[in-house]
Structure 1
Amino acid sequence: MYRRNTWGRTLTLDFFILWERLGDIVVLPVTSFKNPLWDSIGEDLWPVIAKSVNALRLARQGRVADTATRDSTLEILLGDNGWVDHRENRILYSFDATKCMFSWGNLSEKLRMGSLDCRDEIVVDLFAGIGYFVLPFLVRAKAKLVYACEWNPHAVEALRRNVQANSVSDRCIILEGDNRTTAPKGVADRVCLGLIPSSESSWATAVGALRSEGGMLHIHGNVVDSEESSWTKYVSESVGETARSQGHCWEVFIEHLERVKWYAPHIRHVVADVRCRHAQK
């Protein structure tokens, strides 16, 4: 029996590998079949593996590229291209998996954002990607309007497709380029900063995007588990100082800390919900 996100026996080999399904592509781990011997018989091997896991296409995961746009390095082993349609929580994500990353591990956070009531809110997503959080905000949380900032042209292409495919393009404004220059100012009720390991370079941009009354920042980060308290203190103090430097008299505090997943041993991907509001007199 082969199931998504479970250990499955492949062929008749004496080991197990963990694989994941992305649309009609089965994605093998980055370390799978790396011996050159496998490539030498790949023309015969890959179709057999694909058939054994009931897949039309087969790929091998790659490391996230060490670039500003964090490109995918997924390798197609069987198939003509990397474009895939992937459904998650009744939302369609269409993208080229060889160029754009897709994380299964942050599903809980996408569900959390989608469960919010944003019907009267304007949302700014500073790191929109292919629409990881943009689509939950629009499709599930019913946001009034989302400004989606993204500088990776491959992700922008996918994002344009996805807002059309999910029938929410009329409530989404895509701003291509560096969010520090493209993000709107003074309009947002809520700002999403879904970049890891750190989005600190855009904290000032996020504060500037909020309305004068304040609002909510969702700040993602990778944090050593023993340093969560010091990190949240640093976040609230830094955002507060930035707000004061921009002329705001706000009370800034961490309303909630969401622990999304383990990123590495002792390092968590967390999200700080930072509330900014007029200081009580």
Structure 2
Amino acid sequence: MTSISLVVPAARVREVKVLLEERGFLAGKIRKVDESDGGGCCIPTSLVGGCPTSTTSITPSTTSTSDNGDGDDDDDDNGNDDGDEDGNADFDGEEKERIFHTLGIQDGRGITITPVTTITTTGTVTHDGRKINPPENPLQTAITAFLTANPPEDPTLLPTLLSTLPKRYTYTPPLLLLPSATFSTPAWQSYLSSLLPHDLQQNFYSTLIAAVCKTATHLAHLRPIPTQHNAIRAPKLTPLFGTFPPLLPPQQPPTRSDFDRALWTSTRQSGILQIWAPGYTMFSRGNVKEKARILRFPPPATGTRTKWAVDMYAGIGYFAFSYAKLGYRVLAWEINPWSVEGFVRGAGENGLPVKVVLPHQGMPVTMEQEQQEVVVFLEDNENAPARIAKMGEGVRGGIERVNLGLLPTSRGSWAGAIQVLAERGGWVHVHENVGIEEIDEMAGRVVKAFEELEKGRGGTRRVVCEHVERVKTFAPGVMHCVFDIRIGGERL
């Protein structure tokens, strides 16, 4: 368990105190700090799951002590250390943003983060030596209380049940998601299916969601996303509690009524709202670091030519919205109609005009003069080069960044990326899963592959890997990395 203290300016103490109490994160009383700290207050807290009830934002942020089941280890630890920033020892800018996001703090300016020492599971010590009892995991507390009130007939089964309590969960209103292994042991299966009547099972599940947040209405397992024959990255959702609309077969095109009946959820990251249907679309909270990094890129230069970013794997707008917020016009490709619907809903909530183009529809060559900031094509991205070629040099000549955000590899779109990039050059952001010991070697392989692609098209632009971003751990020993490949564009 990671424990920290927040030193908050006095003028903001009430705001932050109320927010933390509402979200279930407050682990100790607010105390005064000395004048050298600016006359503020220190709020000791631990980053564990709590109840993310609605604040003043349109949609509550995600509370999570886990990933959303897309296969990521998702510890949000990129292994980088940018040093001491703004007095926050041992926390770089991205880690600070993650902490503020977890606590639901939209504006972290002026708030100092200080690590504290965890001594045992029964208490922590702050930097001034005060001992604080840590908050309990509400999910484990609720399950333990239920087992105490409704023990199995075989008393020897109880220790086994208690030893396999879930430690993690993810809540995005109104859905509470449990890790795929939760209640999967033979002991739990026996207890739930054989020893508990149906009504008591439902009472058990309703108790769990109420323990995390009283406004939650649905509970499910989100199992790892199948990798075989699953091009649209459809998740495997197993409902446990609540009214879930029947899921359509994977290849059945959804209708407007299907969209309207489906369960939708949302979260806000770096000020950008994203919406998805968890029965049909994956979501990885760990990508928040890369989304935030995009927002720190230099904005596109103003001038007579419109600057564009192309997102070859748009999903629900994971990265496309960040490019749009940065100031780029965006062309996006996505083959999952459920993701496109989430993309459209999210774009609307973020104030981004959006246009959806179907496979049989054309685009005017003068589209650079239109007002849509974001255009999403519901089709395979192999069509991107031909589509963009028909739009004319006014569009292609302004394409400065191409995002390739598919895991475990985006290799299938490398050739298309180099074709659509402006002739004057730009960046291709290549997402790959890489063994931690092989990251440097992989950077060289990516550069060599793009050099061959550039040579194959008769070009002479220089290819350089400017940066490797370690986004998050995907599995033990495997890192989700983004390779920033600059092609030509020495004067960009």
User: TM-score, normalized by length of structure 2?
Assistant: 0.54
Q: Which residue pairs with 1:241 in the alignment?
A: 452
Specify which of 334, 338, 355 is matched with residue 150 of structure 1. Answer: 334
How far apart are the structure 2 equivalents of 1:84 and 1:130? 12
How far apart are the structure 1 equivalents of 2:475 and 2:438? 14
DSSP-derived class of the 1:220 partner: strand
Cα shift at 1:100: 0.4
Q: Is residue 2:142 matched to residue 1:11?
A: yes
Query: 8 Å contact 2:333–2:376 — kept in the other structure?
Result: yes
How far apart are the structure 1 equivalents of 2:210 and 2:225? 27
Q: Is residue 2:170 matched to residue 1:20?
A: yes
Give the alignment of 1:215-254 within 5 angstroms. Answer: 215-254=426-465
Name the aligned partner's letter for residue 5 of structure 1: S
How far apart are the structure 2 equivalents of 1:278 and 1:47? 57
Q: Is residue 2:212 matched to residue 1:53?
A: yes
Q: Which residue pairs with 2:71 in the alignment?
A: none
DSSP-derived class of the 1:85 partner: strand
How far apart are the structure 1 equivalents of 2:350 and 2:453? 36
Query: 8 Å contact 1:126–1:193 — kept in the other structure?
Result: yes
How far apart are the structure 2 equivalents of 1:128 and 1:253? 25
Query: 8 Å contact 1:76–1:98 — kept in the other structure?
Result: no
Specify which of 14, 32, 50 is matched with residue 182 of structure 2. Answer: 32
Q: Which runs of 5 or more structure 1 residues have no equivalent in the other structure?
A: none
* Closer, same or farther: CA 63–195 of 1 in aligned 2, 3 Å: same
Query: 8 Å contact 2:209–2:219 — kept in the other structure?
Result: yes
User: TM-score, normalized by length of structure 1?
Assistant: 0.92
How far apart are the structure 1 equivalents of 2:311 and 2:143? 46
DSSP-derived class of the 1:124 partner: strand
Cα shift at 1:247: 2.3
* Closer, same or farther: CA 154–5 of 1 in aligned 2, 3 Å: closer
* Closer, same or farther: CA 157–119 of 1 in aligned 2, 3 Å: same
Name the aligned partner's letter for residue 146 of structure 1: V
Name the aligned partner's letter for residue 182 of structure 2: S
Give the alignment of 1:149-168 within 5 angstroms. Answer: 149-168=333-352
Name the aligned partner's letter for residue 191 of structure 1: V
Query: 8 Å contact 2:384–2:416 — kept in the other structure?
Result: no
How far apart are the structure 2 equivalents of 1:278 and 1:171? 24
* Closer, same or farther: CA 156–122 of 1 in aligned 2, 3 Å: same
Specify which of 180, 187, 195 is matched with residue 382 of structure 2. Answer: 180
How far apart are the structure 2 equivalents of 1:273 and 1:217? 6
Q: Which residue pairs with 2:253 in the alignment?
A: none
Cα shift at 1:249: 1.3
Name the aligned partner's letter for residue 11 of structure 1: A
Larger radius of gyration: 2
Query: 8 Å contact 2:417–2:428 — kept in the other structure?
Result: yes
DSSP-derived class of the 1:17 partner: coil
Higher-RCO chain (CA-CA 8 Å, sequence separation at least 6):
2
Q: Is residue 2:402 matched to residue 1:191?
A: yes
Cα shift at 1:27: 1.3
How far apart are the structure 1 equivalents of 2:449 and 2:239? 43
Query: 8 Å contact 2:166–2:179 — kept in the other structure?
Result: no
Q: Is residue 2:373 matched to residue 1:171?
A: yes
* Closer, same or farther: CA 90–76 of 1 in aligned 2, 3 Å: farther
Larger proportion of strand = 1
How far apart are the structure 1 equivalents of 2:341 and 2:64? 28
Cα shift at 1:132: 0.4
Cα shift at 1:83: 1.0
How far apart are the structure 2 equivalents of 1:77 and 1:255? 47
Query: 8 Å contact 1:215–1:277 — kept in the other structure?
Result: yes
Give the alignment of 1:108-119 within 5 angstroms. Answer: 108-119=289-300
Cα shift at 1:232: 0.6
How far apart are the structure 1 equivalents of 2:479 and 2:466? 18
How far apart are the structure 2 equivalents of 1:209 and 1:272? 18
CA RMSD after TM alignment? 2.0
Specify which of 69, 84, 97 is matched with residue 232 of structure 2. Answer: 69
Identity of matched residues, %: 29
Q: Which residue pairs with 2:271 in the alignment?
A: 90
